[in-house]
Structure 1
């Protein structure tokens, strides 16, 4: 059990809270009631998340901790303390992780899927691996003598490396040391050997290369080889401007002299690596006392477990859920006309993202459409969204695309698509200086009749729409459409005064509008009117919003929160947070929709949008949250929150301690899984409509 290691009893720092969240993913991998191959996938997600966390968040903390400016003393002390807690939790969770890996591998072996290493092969399998090397690997592996390596600052940190110690059989005192990068990006991480005696056999590419070391170093007369895996995570130098006030950012940039771009800040290595090998590896990475050095198992970079071969065993994975096509949004009728008739919605991936693609495709060829404006944050490799926009430009529409070049780790893809769009005459706007454009909005301007718009909680991205739960409102509501058009005007001419009648927009008035909604609930409760707050969101770390929720709770307002990730609130504080309940849900889909419900004395004001309650979302990003007025859509949004709060299968208690205890609803005899229930609800709705 993990103790609450935060220094403030009523506020959990963002990065410690993130560690608690990622542990919830690890706990899914430890559950024996989840299919084995899905447990492997959760282990891969956990590992991938941790890599990104160290590249960005821990890198930022390191820079703050190393800053020698006197005015940043408080921030420096806080960063040092947070790093100590992160390293402590990381070491503790690493032990859980290694145990979970072993448990899953044991389970797979019982299902006749055997992970074998280089010491466990029979003669026939060794011959197969030798042939595999010549056919697939030869020429892709380039060993480098460690004595020739100055440092590893230019080496990619998304790879696995083997440190190799070799010697001649007759010479035990003069070993040689080399390192090599595994060609995972070219051949994959796993090699499936021929089945034998009813068993499937899988090898890590690490072990395939270990088998091939005599071939790789052929002609050098070495006969004894040892190889130990290691990986490192480098400072990605991102998000400073999103997380620190400008003055502090500048001081840190000037004050940090030792931290260089790309410097390693975390090293994970095979615990069996001899001291002489480890010393040489660490010496090439310039590790300092604040960095993380972690002894682990034989294999690193477990993110590849997300693509583990299924060996034809579909029974060891979740049953496939086919996205539902909404009848009202498909067929030969005009989707533009349908949205003008009344508000429409899709909830991906339960509903098929094709409905949004169809809207764009119709707009691209419709003669009455004069313009399309949209924001794009992340783009699929083969984006149908972009292809529809290019088609619109080719048909003479005025197309404006706001593309965020600083979408973390997707910069190259976004730049590539930007060039293609510019080539066909699309007006591409690269965000707003000083403000990351994170809103998810589309505006379609018509020559006659009402314009329409789309406001989404997530990216217009086909890939994300298959695994992220996001809500998308399509509306012709005049005030909402006008406000969306004003957001685009603001992006085109930033910092001009803008007032919004319906939308909550940051960095303008979003925080103030949310504060007013909370204050209204406090007032209603104190005057005897119905009052409650229910929110489904990804992250809550903004100190102002945390304080307001505590205030509402202290005044008796019941607050139910569904928080996927970072959460700085601590529940159960008598007189302060004892009216707050928080559940976090990890399941087959990534919970991503932001939904806000305020009782409003029984009126139930509902909102959806792109913003979490973090300082970056409310201060330094252009975010959009829209009210929802259609009664049927409001009911559906309430259902989404209701189901989440009933989830006694995938729900975990988020209370600020990191224990992540199972969520209890009072009726544990009736298992309820929110994502499954939502899928069945939407499927049955469409089946009923099709039958009419």
Structure 2
């Protein structure tokens, strides 16, 4: 059978849009609290921005350059772009249909978005003062004429296009003396709140800043008549070239980030009903086609609702927070964190369990006199990262600190540049990454001088060292002091920071060296188990499944009788349910209030399960163009926890959707009791803490009773 046949594969771009549609479904779901629905709309808009800046821009570039090769499913660039455009326009239409319904419903909760004409005189007076004191000083009208060409509009900035006329007697510097066909731009300032609250006695009233500016445009254009005004936003190409072999990668990356702000226009969003002359002027000036224009029935740029969804005083319109619980493997332990890790391997499941043990490990290492060195990879970190602070403190305390900061982490480059500079100033040795490869692995190594000799402590994770996203993303991390792991992670850092050949790995599999081969061997081993009369079963949880080589191996395994359960949050190019090919494969996607992010791989191995965790998805970029690590979970207690995690996820019948052979998704049918996996994990984390508290109380009671007996 030819498993390379295009009929067995789904297009990855369509798969991504299907994922964003699943997020949109959460916004459309009437069971989702109102402000959470706004948050999901903001997420879909942010996702779509990135998709346009990267994927759509790359596709337009291919079309412009004459590239006409078919993709895995047989589509050429023009055909793919046309279909993507149709689907994106439909998605935007559904976004705004949902938004307007939610905004109308919020009025019942006394949250109102106002039009200027509907304001009271007192409210207009408030806005008059607000405009003159706050907005007017930062506005800059940009005239467009023979001497002042169409300005270079910043990527994703919100702007007002203005059409004007003037009389010949007007005292103006404009070379256009007939006073007709005049155009200007005004950028809506991003340094001020986009949503302005208006004082009210009994309700929360708001107005968008661009609506305020429209009312006061005459203050910017004295002597002119404003004929039409319309809001617009440009999305630009973010796929600009980066010279990775530049003499100073840090300086080159700073230039790269600046260049990306001015890439070629890819999409134009405009207000529905915008003046025809303004629309034509924008389209011609930006050299865009009809399918690049998105007329929206509401405020442009829904990402602004991300912050608004946290509006004070309306907790009943949001989910009850799933607060991280103390990590059960570290809870109420008075010993040093090093003693705990030395005793046995430990596991933390974020965000149900707190990220604190990871922070505590770095902080304790920074102060511990026995610690000689700390080495860590950083891909995405928070704006005020305690990890960064602890690493800087460790260097100042005389530890040898080596940090690989991946400057090429997409859309986090500026943040990482700043952290790299801060760490260098503190005395850390900072490595900026490798030429041609992104370092995506999540590794922390601490070298400690103990009585028994040098001991290495290791933390390996599926997620970033980011204390903020650790409250929102589901990830798993393992701590160990086993020498086999320490040796491998040390060798890994030698590969990253110096000139070193890869060792014979004891525990890790590393991309791009042997990770692909490792996965292939593990999949093929399940086929051999079936051939020998045993059960073959694979469970793989990841963000994306795109790699055709891995998909072929899964098809072969399914055809041989291996049961395969795939938990794929986003893109999945595999087609499940094809008779004789993939009828043993089930694909589900969990989209809920938390972002599924962990990568976990289970292989039954003839009733002797092998379990692995990784930073890598099954995508060509992860297997071939990134530095990734796959590590085994060997402790039996931890294996049992991971198996339970996978079992609960597979039984989700509230937030799970099952993929169909055509690439669409349907909600899993609810048989029996409802199970929402994310809520269940939070419940179990709370239950574990209560159980530990009870155990501690009983132990304390026994100690007290024993003392009382001795006294008597």
Q: When the two structures are superposed, what TM-score results if normalisation uses the length of structure 1? A: 0.91
Residues 213 and 225 in structure 1, CA contact (< 8 A), matched pair in contact too: no
1:481 maps to which residue?
486
Paired residue for 1:150? 149
In the other structure, the counterpart of 1:249 is none
**Aligned residue in 1 for 2:337:** 335
The match for 1:4 is: none
Q: Deviations over 1:252-292 (max 9, x none)?
A: xxxxxxx9961101111123112210111122222258x72
Aligned partner of 2:132 in structure 1 is 134
Q: Does residue 114 of structure 2 align to residue 116 of structure 1? A: yes
Distance in 2, Cα, partners of 1:234 & 1:462: 31
Equivalent in the alignment of 2:690: 687
1:614 matched to 2:612: no
Contact 1:237 1:261 in 2 (8 A): no
Contact 2:543 2:617 in 1 (8 A): yes
Aligned to 1:646: 651
Q: 1:68 to 1:167 in 2, by over 3 A?
A: closer
Contact 2:602–2:612, Cα closer than 8 Å, also in 1? yes
Aligned residue for 1:313?
314
1:657 Cα deviation from its structure 2 partner: 3.5
Change (3 A) 1:458 1:504: same
Partner of 2:679: 676
Q: Distance in 2 between matches of 1:294 and 1:9?
A: 32
Paired residue for 1:125, among 123, 138, 142? 123
Which aligned pairs between 1:209-220 and structure 2 lie closer than 5 A?
209-217=213-221, 219-220=222-223
Q: Corresponding residue for 1:181?
A: 187
Partner of 1:248: none
- Pairing of 1:63-462 with structure 2 (within 5 A): 63-68=61-66, 73-74=69-70, 78-147=76-145, 149-152=148-151, 154-167=152-165, 174=180, 176-183=182-189, 185-196=190-201, 198-217=202-221, 219-222=222-225, 224=226, 226-237=228-239, 262-287=263-288, 292-308=292-308, 310-326=311-327, 328-329=329-330, 332-448=334-450, 449=453, 450-462=455-467
Residue 253 of structure 2: aligned partner: none
Distance 1:165 1:14, change over 3 A: same
Query: Displacement, 1:485?
Result: 1.0
Give yes or no for contact 2:268–2:292 (8 Å, CA) kept in 1. Answer: yes
1:525-544: CA deviation from partner (whole Å, max 9, x where unpaired): 12220211111100010010
Is 2:328–2:688's contact at 8 Å kept on the other side of the alignment?
no
Report the counterpart of residue 31 of structure 2 in structure 1.
33
Deviation, 1:566, is 1.1
The aligned counterpart of 1:633 is 638
Farther-moved stretch of structure 1 (99-108 vs 294-303): 294-303
* Equivalent position SS for 1:156: coil
Q: Distance in 2 between matches of 1:241 and 1:111?
A: 53
Q: Which ranges of structure 1 fall in alignment gaps of 5 or more residues?
A: 1-6, 243-258
Q: More deviation in 655-664 or 381-390?
A: 655-664
Match among 536, 544, 553 for residue 541 of structure 2: 536
Of the three residues 509, 517, 521, the one matched with 2:522 is: 517
Q: CA RMSD in A?
A: 2.5
Q: Flag the 1:214–1:150 CA change in 2: closer, same or farther, 3 A.
A: closer
CA distance in 2, matches of 1:167, 1:635: 74
Preserved CA contact (<8 Å) 2:166 2:223: no
SS across alignment from 1:378: coil
Q: Which moved further from structure 2: 414-423 or 279-288? A: 279-288
Q: Which has the higher contact order (CA 8 A, sep 6+)?
A: 1
Give the Å deviation of 1:656. Answer: 5.3
Distance in 1 between residues matched to 2:500 and 2:410, nearest whole Å: 25
Q: What is the aligned length?
A: 660
Bigger radius of gyration, 1 or 2? 2
CA–CA distance in 1 between the matches of 2:625 and 2:355? Answer: 29
Looking at structure 2, the residues matched to 535 and 494 of structure 1 have their Cα atoms a distance apart, in angstroms, of 34
Is the 8 Å Cα contact of residues 494 and 500 (structure 2) preserved in structure 1? no
The alpha-carbon deviation at position 208 of structure 1 amounts to 1.9
Partners of 2:263 and 2:596 in 1: CA distance: 32
Partner SS for 2:8: coil
Instruction: Name the stretch that deviates more: 394-403 or 38-47.
Output: 394-403
How far apart, CA to CA, are the structure 2 residues paired with 1:632 and 1:584?
Answer: 27
Q: Once the 2 structures are TM-superposed, how far is the Cα of residue 60 of structure 1 from its aligned partner?
A: 1.6
1:583-598 pair list within 5 angstroms:
583-598=588-603
Q: Secondary structure at the match of 1:447?
A: strand
**Contact 1:439-1:624 at 8 Å conserved across structures:** yes
Q: Could you tell me how far apart the structure 1 residues matched to 2:685 and 2:243 are?
A: 41
Contact 1:65 1:77 in 2 (8 A): no
Report Cα offsets for 1:466-511 as digits up to 9, x if no partner.
2111111001122122111111111123572433121111001111
1:234 Cα deviation (Å)?
A: 0.6
Other structure's SS at 2:388 match: helix
CA distance in 2, matches of 1:278, 1:586: 37
Q: CA deviation at 1:238?
A: 5.1
Distance 1:467 1:640, change over 3 A: same
Give me the whole-angstrom Cα distance separating, in 2, the residues matched to 1:296 and 1:326: 46
Per-residue Cα deviation, 1:26-52 (whole angstroms, up to 9, x for no partner)? 111100000000000000000011111
Note closer, same or farther for the CA distance 1:221–1:563 as it changes in structure 2 (3 Å cut): same
| Cα deviation, residue 162, structure 1 | 1.3
The 8 Å contact of residues 56 and 239 in structure 1, kept in 2 or not, is answered as: no
Cα displacement (A) at 1:327: 5.4
- Partner-residue secondary structure (3-state), 1:165: strand
Give the superposition deviation at 1:329: 2.4
Partner of 2:702: none
Quick check: 1:17–1:656 contact (8 Å CA) kept in 2?
A: no
Say whether the 8 Å CA contact 2:228–2:275 is kept in structure 1.
no
